[in-house]
Amino acid sequence: MSQTILVVDDSLVSRMMIKAIIETHVADVVIIEANSGDQALERVTSDSDVNVAFVDFNMPGMTGLELISALKNILTIPKIALLTANIQDEIRKKAHEAGVIFMNKPVNEQIISTFLKQ
């Protein structure tokens, strides 16, 4: 069964790394890639069947938490990870309140693969 995974990060290098890890660990996958919250919202619709999302916190325009809130208004995504190098307790608390997993950047293959298998 195919999975659809959303990867949103303003860093091309981060998106490429995350995509490569996903493709190594998920056999039948469609990856929707976006470099900002606005672009992500343009690329998904209420008909999109997104199983997992990896969302960067610090992006131009809206933050990752703002994007997650907007996505929740149009989609149900079972697993969402907020990726950030900003390890402030306030951001962790907001991620927890939003019901998403907080991941410190830089992420690595073990962190992403473990999240995908949960």
> How much is the mean pLDDT over the chain?
94
pLDDT of residue 87: 75
Distance CA 42, CA 72 (A): 14
Element (DSSP H or E) covering residue 52: strand 52-56
Distance CA 63, CA 117 (A): 26
**pLDDT, tens digit (0-9, with 9 covering 90-100), for 4-61:** 999 999 999 999 999 999 999 999 999 999 999 999 999 998 889 999 999 999 999 9
Q: At 85, is the pLDDT very low, low, confident or very high (cuts 50, 70, 90)?
A: confident
Q: At 86, is the pLDDT very low, low, confident or very high (cuts 50, 70, 90)?
A: confident
Q: What is the pTM of this model?
A: 0.95
Q: Are the CB atoms for 5 and 31 separated by under 8 Å?
A: yes
Domains, the chain: 3-117 (3.40.50.2300)
Q: Tell whether omega for the bond before 106 is within 30 degrees of 0, i.e. cis.
A: yes
pLDDT of residue 70: 97
Q: Which of 32, 33, 62 is nearest to 47 (CA)?
A: 32
